[in-house]
A and B are shown apart, each in its own frame.
Chain A
């Protein structure tokens, strides 16, 4: 493997990598070694158009662009010399020639590369006297993306995304020279299942999503690591949170799962964390206090056991591994068979979207849940989630439903208990490739709701079973010790990138 000296430190890098790729591989890019860049993106082909990543290489007289210079053994790269700083200043000045100075009203402010690099490398005063080039404002490029043509610096990241990632090729740069403009083919909108990623990769405020535009200044947002629950791919996401509200989901890079992308449907799924929730405990369709509902459910569970009635458990592919494990334990304690579950299906593609429209079907399978809706002659059913319960439960006299969202079943059930969404508690999902991934809480519930596993444990205690208070970390540890597939995989050890099932 070639060795390279960067700013005096020697590194060993993989064969055939460019300087920027090697720095990215080493985790040093803009994180120890500052090589500012606009057009280069780790998941897109090289463009070489922005010229900002110029560095000194060996004794080559001219500066080289780090994004397109392959590393050779023994190469020496200098990223912080005076010549490099001077070149960056020059490039920044040219990039800013036509860029409006409207940061105070620009939605990108606070997460704008142009702003950051202008601060680091820019000149303080514009030397141009001619007015900036006027162009179109607030162009609706498609259903989700709004475009400010004046702010575009023509890095072509969005163009390459649409060509090389989605293959839809909606965007292009038309005209040439200082008249170049980013546009769509006449009459053809930017409309694909991943279109909103172009707003993430746009280094400036040119491409914004209609959904997030002007909602909140980004510096008010905390980003919390989470996992999308809209399909079994389990794209890693950051939840942008402020004031106990979530304002957006953005993809979080995980090269083993979703690179740096996510689909629009997943990105726009966050309102469901608030809408349509089951907000109070229900006893035969009547709102009651949480504890009263738990006591009634516990009593029914005890009586059914004593009377020898059959008990069935129905898991949910939306429930985290820890909660499914608790359900499994409870079902074992009351002598019920393995839990059942079913997965809603939909369309998938070859990029990220998977046909299984739930985040944890693989987890349910790994924990021994059986894909079936056949409840037979059960007298009592303990049900997580309503997604697949359906009519099969109409023959069951006592349904104890633990659910995040309201449904017809909630009003029909003997007891319905409000559960926390994945946004309101920690846990893990197992994606289609059997990768266990962690999500962290980013919202406080607005009403009394508990994790499914927690509710199951209260139910068990109320039915007279011997239990400890539920704690997701403790359950996760026990799961990793008791289920071979999860050996060594718990909330701590999965880290922020996930681990594959054994």
Chain B
């Protein structure tokens, strides 16, 4: 963990009634270093928070905006919950898989895109919904999905 990250995390502690409450924003800060969180980083976090490494790892793996393995430069996540699925999200995901030549959960060989499926993004009224690098893309069809993916560098 870089010293600046550590300083930023320590500054967070004051904002929460319990130190432990700062764990989520702290994980974001650590993840910003290399795009994912390693076991060593999780152990460093645990030490900083007076937690067991396993506690940090349970939180890390619980949320799907945290990554425990190296990721592509861009993230494309397709919501596959019920409303999106009713509006064709599963077919959409298959088409993106075919377009990129990878399966959900994998990264393209050039490290450009990591593809995944997502639980509910809370935008069922505009299903199907994609999350591209943290940005919502709504009412997406196959053509729009290809355009979005191809625009990523």
Interface size class of A (residues with CB under 8 A): 10 to 19
With known contacts A163-B52, A185-B39, A172–B57 Cβ distance under 8 A = yes
Set of chain A residues within 8 Å of B42, measured between Cβ atoms:
185
Set of chain B residues within 8 Å of A188, measured between Cβ atoms:
53
Set of chain B residues within 8 Å of A184, measured between Cβ atoms:
54
- Minimum CB–CB distance from B88 to chain A (whole Å) comes to 21
Set of chain A residues within 8 Å of B61, measured between Cβ atoms:
174-176
- Minimum CB–CB distance from A221 to chain B (whole Å) comes to 34
**Which residue of A is nearest B43, CB measured?**
A185
Contact with A along B58-69 (1 / 0, CB 8 A): 100110000010
With known contacts A185-B39, A187-B39, A169–B52 Cβ distance under 8 A = yes
Contact with B along A147-187 (1 / 0, CB 8 A): 00000000000000001000001111111110000001111
**Which residue of B is nearest A174, CB measured?**
B61
Pairwise interchain contact A174-B52, C-beta atoms closer than 8 A: no
Pairwise interchain contact B58-A186, C-beta atoms closer than 8 A: no
With known contacts A185-B39, A186-B39, A173–B58 Cβ distance under 8 A = yes
Cα(A158)–Cα(B61), bound, Å = 19
B133 at the interface (CB under 8 A from A): no
Cα(A84)–Cα(B53), bound, Å = 39
Set of chain A residues within 8 Å of B62, measured between Cβ atoms:
174-176
Cα(A177)–Cα(B119), bound, Å = 11
Pairwise interchain contact B58-A174, C-beta atoms closer than 8 A: yes
Set of chain A residues within 8 Å of B52, measured between Cβ atoms:
163, 169
B-side interface mostly = helix
Among A410-444, those with CB < 8 Å from B are: none
Contact with A along B24-58 (1 / 0, CB 8 A): 00000000000000010010000000001111011
**Which residue of A is nearest B68, CB measured?**
A186
Contact with A along B12-32 (1 / 0, CB 8 A): 000000000000000000000
Pairwise interchain contact A169-B54, C-beta atoms closer than 8 A: yes
Among A180-207, those with CB < 8 Å from B are: 184-188
Cα(A186)–Cα(B52), bound, Å = 13
Set of chain B residues within 8 Å of A173, measured between Cβ atoms:
58
One of B39, B54, B68, B119 near A170 (C-beta < 8 A): B54
**Which residue of A is nearest B56, CB measured?**
A185
Cα(A174)–Cα(B61), bound, Å = 6
- Minimum CB–CB distance from A430 to chain B (whole Å) comes to 38
Cα(A177)–Cα(B58), bound, Å = 13
Contact with A along B90-122 (1 / 0, CB 8 A): 000000000000000000000000000001000
Pairwise interchain contact B57-A174, C-beta atoms closer than 8 A: yes
Cα(A186)–Cα(B38), bound, Å = 9
Cα(A170)–Cα(B62), bound, Å = 17
Pairwise interchain contact B39-A172, C-beta atoms closer than 8 A: no
Cα(A184)–Cα(B54), bound, Å = 8
One of A163, A176, A177, A185 near B57 (C-beta < 8 A): A185
Cα(A177)–Cα(B120), bound, Å = 13
- Minimum CB–CB distance from A195 to chain B (whole Å) comes to 15
Cα(A176)–Cα(B64), bound, Å = 9
Set of chain B residues within 8 Å of A187, measured between Cβ atoms:
39
- Minimum CB–CB distance from A177 to chain B (whole Å) comes to 8
Cα(A174)–Cα(B62), bound, Å = 6
- Minimum CB–CB distance from B117 to chain A (whole Å) comes to 11
Cα(A173)–Cα(B119), bound, Å = 19
Sampled A-B contacts (29; CB under 8 Å): A163-B52, A169-B53, A169-B54, A169-B55, A170-B54, A171-B54, A172-B54, A172-B55, A172-B57, A172-B58, A173-B58, A174-B58, A174-B61, A174-B62, A175-B61, A175-B62, A176-B61, A176-B62, A177-B119, A184-B54, A185-B39, A185-B53, A185-B54, A185-B57, A186-B39, A186-B57, A186-B68, A187-B39, A188-B53
